[in-house]
Chain A
Amino acid sequence: MNNATEIRDATESSDPIIKFDKVVKRFGDHVVLDELDFEVQRGEKVTIIGPSGSGKSTVLRVLMTLEPINDGVVYVGGEPLWHQRRGDELIPAGEPHLREMRSHMGMVFQQFNLFPHMTVLRNLTEAPVQVLGINKAEAKKRGMELLEMVGLTDQADKYPHQLSGGQQQRVGIARALAMRPKVMLFDEPTSALDPELVGEVLNVIRSLADEHDLTMLLVTHEMHFARQVSDRICFFDQGRIKEQGKPEDIFTAPKEERTKAFLKAVLDPDD
């Protein structure tokens, strides 16, 4: 309980809700995050762009506790994510601490990762009932509200495979929101979709971006969309932030050569 109060206090102050402090992540010899320093303010909408292998998705996966770090400290709401405090020391976090910290984050996956053997509505109620202890009727009511938000109330009793990719991803977003996260992590949410289905998913994300309290971290290749919804764009290269700033600055007047080359490649792929 104590933990939860601390976090609320921390998030209401001007401290960043997310802070990476010299975070290192390695896969074997490959350094994915190279002493990364990175901060996100409460309610901020940040888009991470960059070439593949630059560590974009790893940032999200580290935050969702799907990927442990090798060095440095990640803070969420002022609390260390992968560590817990013992006196003045930070020791590696145990599962109870990770569970507690994880409850602040929700994640939308590139491959949707809906539970295929559960109906759409059950996908939205399983975790709220099992993890948050909400009663079934209440969870269903809330699940239907979320489906209404993503425009899928008529699909509640269908199974994921009966839905289009765009519809599945909208369910994926609703499922993450059902846990009432403070931070939403979008890991290339439209990359697995047919081009004509991208718009409906982006529209849902856009409507979320209007919510003042929600912090959003988005990894995407949809540059025009990123420009519309983001407060800040971070260009990642080789496990570090090479350049960051307001969308108009990054997209119209990038300073770094690396950023220019990347943007040119993704915005005018025919050249």
Chain B
Amino acid sequence: MFFGIEWDTSSQWAFAVSIFPILLHGLVITLEATVVGFFIALALGLVLAALKSAPTRFIRWPAKLLTEFIRDTPLLIQLFFLFYVLPEFGLTLPAFLTGALALGVQYSAYTSEVYRGGLEAVASGQREAARALNLAPARTFTHIILPQAIPRIIPALGNYLVSIMKDVPVLGVVTVLEMLGVARIIGDRTGGYLIPLTMVGGIYLILTIIASLGVRYLDTHLPKRGLSLK
């Protein structure tokens, strides 16, 4: 029994059917961690991107160093830092939040590069034309640069959403009961790992395909209004 749901081991089919709702409980946690982590990554990445294009190198360099550090170290290190080291300094976060934060921090390094790349891909001639026309810097950013950068940024961000979802099982090591962890516990308790693990793999496959289709849909249907991105 798990999450108040009994499993039925009378046949393999019955077992699969009976543990499906249990796995769905885990799936909800997985999706929640994905979404929270993604939003943290979006926000933190924006901050990092801004710092990395700051006018002074005393801000730029530390921001770049931090990005590199995050990118070149395993997600588990960020996770352990947040889970084990922060409490040493008196800050204890719930396991779920710790996990989502670790995902967000890890992926902010990537999203910050997406933002920066998207903004830099807008041709310098666009800034020059805006300047020659005396458009204010803020107006130039919001109405000339951003509209041209966003169609490049969004599909790339979507790909990271899928990656985050696939990284959620790592949170199992800090006791977050996400879907794969749930499957393992079912295996531990019933002695049958094949079916729950296969089902989790299947569910992941379906989710990834749906998300990829979504990203592709966004890619082709985002209003580009005259932008050719090739």
Do A and B actually bind? Answer: yes
Q: Are B227 and A131 in contact (CB-based, < 8 A)?
A: no
Q: Is A76 an interface residue (CB 8 A)?
A: no
Interface string of A105-143 (1 = CB under 8 A from B): 111010101111111000000110011000000000000
* 8 further interface pairs, Cβ-Cβ under 8 Å (given A118-B226, A126-B143, A127-B135): A102-B134, A107-B132, A113-B128, A117-B226, A130-B135, A131-B133, A131-B135, A175-B133
Q: Are B226 and A176 in contact (CB-based, < 8 A)?
A: no
For A, the interface residue count at a CB cutoff of 8 angstroms equals 29
Known interface pairs A116-B148, A118-B226; A64-B132 also in contact (CB < 8 Å): yes
- A-B pair count, CB < 8 Å, reads 67
CA distance A3 to B225 in the complex (A): 40
CA distance A113 to B129 in the complex (A): 6
Checking A99, A109, A161 against B129 with a beta-carbon cut-off of 8 angstroms, the contacting residue is A109
CA distance A1 to B226 in the complex (A): 39
| A131 partner residues in chain B, CB cutoff 8 A | 133-136
Q: Is B172 an interface residue (CB 8 A)?
A: no
Known interface pairs A117-B227, A159-B225; A127-B128 also in contact (CB < 8 Å): no
* B residues 119-163 in Cβ contact with A at 8 Å: 123, 125-126, 128-129, 131-136, 139, 143-144, 147-148
Q: Are A117 and B148 in contact (CB-based, < 8 A)?
A: yes
Known interface pairs A159-B225, A160-B226, A161-B228; A115-B132 also in contact (CB < 8 Å): no
| B126 partner residues in chain A, CB cutoff 8 A | 113, 115
Q: Are A116 and B134 in contact (CB-based, < 8 A)?
A: no
Count class of interface residues, chain B:
20 to 34
| A159 partner residues in chain B, CB cutoff 8 A | 225-226
CA distance A160 to B224 in the complex (A): 13
Please report A residues at the B interface, Cβ cutoff 8 Å. 64-66, 99, 102-103, 105-107, 109, 111, 113-119, 126-127, 130-131, 159-162, 175-176, 179
CA distance A91 to B144 in the complex (A): 32
Q: Are B131 and A65 in contact (CB-based, < 8 A)?
A: yes
Q: Are A116 and B132 in contact (CB-based, < 8 A)?
A: no
Please report B residues at the A interface, Cβ cutoff 8 Å. 123, 125-126, 128-129, 131-136, 139, 143-144, 147-148, 224-228
CA distance A106 to B228 in the complex (A): 27
- Beta-carbon nearest neighbor of A181 in chain B: B132
Q: Are B139 and A130 in contact (CB-based, < 8 A)?
A: yes
CB distance from A184 to the nearest CB of B (A): 11
Q: Are A115 and B134 in contact (CB-based, < 8 A)?
A: no
7 inter-chain pairs at a CB distance below 8 angstroms, sorted by A residue, are A102-B132, A105-B132, A109-B128, A113-B123, A127-B134, A162-B226, A175-B133
Checking A64, A66, A126, A162 against B135 with a beta-carbon cut-off of 8 angstroms, the contacting residue is A126
Checking B125, B134, B144 against A99 with a beta-carbon cut-off of 8 angstroms, the contacting residue is B134
| A114 partner residues in chain B, CB cutoff 8 A | 129
Q: Are A116 and B136 in contact (CB-based, < 8 A)?
A: no
Q: Are A115 and B227 in contact (CB-based, < 8 A)?
A: no
| A161 partner residues in chain B, CB cutoff 8 A | 226, 228
CA distance A76 to B139 in the complex (A): 26
